[in-house]
Amino acid sequence: MTDTQEVDVLILGAGVSGLYQLYRVRELGLSVRVLEAAGDVGGTWFWNRYPGARFDSESYTYGYSFSKELLDEWNWSEHFAPQPETLKYLQHVTDKFDLRKDISFNSTVTSAIFDESSNGWDVRVEDGTTWRGRVIITAIGILSAPVYPEIEGRDSFEGFACHTARWPHEPVDLAGQRVAVIGTGATGVQVIQELGKIAGELTVFQRSPNYCVPLGNGPIDGETQARIHATYDEILATCRETHTGFIHRADPRTIWEVSDEEREAFFERLYKEPGFGLWVGNFKDVYLDRAANDILSDFVRRKIRERVNNSAVAEKLVPTNHGFGTRRVPLESGYYEVYNQDNVRLVDLRETPITRITPSGIETSDCSHEFDAIVYATGFDAITGAFDRIDIRGVGGRSLKEKWAAGTRTYLGLTVAGFPNLLTIVGPQNASIFCNIPRCSEQNVEWITDLLRHMFDAGHQRFEAEESAEDEWTALVGQIASMTLFTQTDSWFTGVNRNVTGNHHRNDLIFMGGAPNYRARCDEVAAAGYRGFAFS
Ligand code: NA7
């Protein structure tokens, strides 16, 4: 037994969201502790160290906006910074604001149990340490529970094997090696591009092709750097107005308002533009109208065919079972050209599935492949997975995992009925998931901070979402999602995540109404004295 340490607020996770929440809770004068599973800050940027890891947000739209001094002093080196630089940035923020002293590292939380007699949460860490907090705030990320595929013999492989989200800290030399990559999501695409440059033989095992579009990365020159710094206010204002918190504004026209030539020229321009322009800066109806989406999907399919020399390989890389943009669009830098290299081979698992992994490689239904290394770019138990890995129990000992088993339910994507004094930054049914995350998570943090101020100033010990408010929010999330084409596609956006055994039913996990609309709804709830919350 260890002595339980007590604080006002416990924050789970020291990534982008948790660090900022710590900064804000401190300002309230409350006692606070952050419990972080990793050995240092960074969250996603601590864990995802695989070759080629970088973000798909414009660097200068990704950093925190709360400190002018921080914005002024930090220079991003590339338009889309690589992982080591982002991690360095988050370490810099941690040091600058002296955040480290309130963080316990190597502290994987295993359970959080609400104690009704005292209105506090009892939190247990893997090493046996126990904490008690009046409030807990989860900042555990939506893509933080990595999933290895359930393939017979996986543990028998004798070479180097690693999930991209658990890449070693020490350098891994795969130059000249025979390397397999399983998975072709946003991560797979990044790692394949890099390994294609150095591997002796690279074999990509693809279950589903994605529509990948050019990232358009490059160094930020001095003049551009100066312009970025001079226009930060405008950049951030634009990000506040857009549906997704990115710098790209959606076009207010429908696809049908322009001629075929204009449309083609518009798509061409967006395709060449750096970042997510083609995805989130497109005509306003491309994710609402199937016929509009078909035209856009055909455009990207043509691009893929143009870039891959072997037409049989190109056809395998062309998605046919979903429309462009209805799954997360991977951004790439020469991804399709990798398949024109002699050292790279594509195995289509729809034709020849993996049957087992052996000590020396991978067997598919038609042959066996020998490897020195297997890279699992097989993704995550997304959005709710990190919650499921903690035993969270609310009123009456009810488990959150059990509550959500029949479908996720929340109020504002920030709190859950029956789980008092629990707040979820970038939680399920929050707009932040379909957003340039720091832009939206800052809003979550600031709203939560106001709620805490309200609670502690008034001397309340407990707040809780009302069931009726949760019902309404959950219905709204479903209603908005059903108006879009996203719900018609299997992906981690919609809970139909084939990476994870059992996650095969549709679930309304994301508020798709856009960040400004979400922010207005949250503000309105606060202005109405936290409508839908019961305080005591
Ligand atoms: P994703 O997008 O979930 O991609 C995982 C990939 O791994 C995807 O291509 C999967 O195919 C594939 N996969 C998963 N399990 C298997 C098995 N058992 N066999 C073969 N292939 C498999 O994860 P990422 O890490 O790429 O990206 C996650 C997010 O991080 C991304 O969206 C960005 O927001 C950043 P499937 O498509 O399921 O057929």
Q: What share of the chain is helix, strand, coil (3-state, %, to 5)?
A: 35, 20, 45
The domain in which residue 434 lies consists of 5-41+99-145+382-474+511-535
What is the arithmetic mean of pLDDT over 329-351? 98
Amino acid at 137: I
Q: How confident is the model at residue 23 (pLDDT cuts 50, 70, 90)?
A: very high
Q: Which of 378, 426, 432, 486 to mutate to test the pocket of ligand 1 (most atoms within 8 A of CB)?
A: 378
How many degrees, rounded to 5, is the angle at CA 211 between CA 209 and CA 217?
A: 125
Closest among 461, 463, 425, 462 to 446, alpha carbons compared = 425
Measured from the Cα of 189, ligand 1's closest atom is 26
Q: How confident is the model at residue 504 (pLDDT cuts 50, 70, 90)?
A: low
Is 144's C-beta closer than 6 angstroms to any atom of ligand 1?
no
CATH code of residue 417: 3.50.50.60
> Is residue 136 a part of any domain in this protein?
yes
Q: How confident is the model at residue 499 (pLDDT cuts 50, 70, 90)?
A: confident
Which pairs from 281-285 meet CB under 8 Å and 24+ separation? 281/246, 281/248, 281/249, 281/250, 281/251, 282/250, 282/251, 282/325, 283/250, 283/251, 283/253, 283/254, 283/255, 284/250, 284/251, 284/252, 284/253, 284/254, 285/254, 285/255, 285/256
> Is residue 235 a part of any domain in this protein?
no
Q: Tokens 């007699």 map to which residue?
A: 117
What is the arithmetic mean of pLDDT over 2-13? 94
Is 280's C-beta closer than 6 angstroms to any atom of ligand 1?
no
Ligand 1 centroid vs 501 CA: distance in angstroms?
Answer: 14
Is 492's C-beta closer than 6 angstroms to any atom of ligand 1?
yes
Q: How confident is the model at residue 28 (pLDDT cuts 50, 70, 90)?
A: very high
Has residue 1 got a pLDDT over 60? no
Has residue 163 got a pLDDT over 80? yes
pLDDT tens, 509-526?
A: 999 999 999 999 999 999
Q: Cα 258 vs. chain centroid, distance in angstroms?
A: 34
Q: What is the pLDDT of residue 502?
A: 66
> Is residue 283 a part of any domain in this protein?
no
Residue 424 and residue 420: Cα distance in Å, rounded?
A: 12
Percent of the chain with pLDDT over 90: 97
Torsion of CA 340, 344, 346, 352, to 10 degrees: 140
Torsion of CA 73, 273, 517, 291, to 10 degrees: -170
Measured from the Cα of 208, ligand 1's closest atom is 39
Is 183's C-beta closer than 6 angstroms to any atom of ligand 1?
yes
What is the arithmetic mean of pLDDT over 407-411? 96
Residue 419 and residue 63: Cα distance in Å, rounded?
A: 32
> Is residue 109 a part of any domain in this protein?
yes
Is 274's C-beta closer than 6 angstroms to any atom of ligand 1?
no
> Is residue 343 a part of any domain in this protein?
no
Q: How confident is the model at residue 2 (pLDDT cuts 50, 70, 90)?
A: low
> Is residue 264 a part of any domain in this protein?
no
Mean pLDDT score of the chain, rounded to an integer? 97
What is the arithmetic mean of pLDDT over 50-71? 98
> Is residue 416 a part of any domain in this protein?
yes
Ligand 1 centroid vs 425 CA: distance in angstroms?
Answer: 24
- Number of domains into which the chain is organized: 1
Q: What is the pLDDT of residue 469?
A: 98
Residue 447 and residue 452: Cα distance in Å, rounded?
A: 9
What is the arithmetic mean of pLDDT over 192-213? 98
Ligand 1 centroid vs 391 CA: distance in angstroms?
Answer: 26
Q: Which of 187, 210, 350, 500 to mutate to test the pocket of ligand 1 (most atoms within 8 A of CB)?
A: 187
Ligand 1 centroid vs 15 CA: distance in angstroms?
Answer: 22
What is the arithmetic mean of pLDDT over 468-477? 98
pLDDT tens, 91-103?
A: 999 999 999 999 9
Measured from the Cα of 379, ligand 1's closest atom is 23
pLDDT tens, 255-283?
A: 999 999 999 999 999 999 999 999 999 99
Q: What is the pLDDT of residue 180?
A: 99
Has residue 216 got a pLDDT over 70? yes
What is the arithmetic mean of pLDDT over 439-456? 98
Ligand 1 centroid vs 215 CA: distance in angstroms?
Answer: 19
Q: Cα 391 vs. chain centroid, distance in angstroms?
A: 22
Residue 87 and residue 42: Cα distance in Å, rounded?
A: 6
Q: What is the pLDDT of residue 500?
A: 75
Ligand 1 centroid vs 184 CA: distance in angstroms?
Answer: 6
Q: Regarding beta strands 391-393 and 422-424, do their DSSP bridges make them parallel or antiparallel, or are they unpaired?
A: unpaired
Note whether 387 and 423 are within 8 A (CB). Answer: no
Q: Which residues pair with 206 in a beta bridge?
A: 348
What is the arithmetic mean of pLDDT over 351-357? 98
Amino acid at 516: P
Q: How many CB atoms lie within 10 A of CB 398?
A: 14
List of residues 6+ apart from 527 with CB closer than 8 A: none
Ligand 1 centroid vs 263 CA: distance in angstroms?
Answer: 31
Is 184's C-beta closer than 6 angstroms to any atom of ligand 1?
yes
Q: Is 333 helix (H, G, I), strand (E, B) or coil?
A: coil
Q: Which of 207, 279, 433 to mutate to test the pocket of ligand 1 (most atoms within 8 A of CB)?
A: 207
List of residues 6+ apart from 400 with CB closer than 8 A: 387, 392, 393, 394, 416, 419
| Helix runs in 281-339, H state only | 290-307, 311-317, 335-338
> Is residue 242 a part of any domain in this protein?
no
Q: Which residues pair with 344 in a beta bridge?
A: 202
What is the arithmetic mean of pLDDT over 10-29? 98
List of residues 6+ apart from 476 with CB closer than 8 A: 511, 513
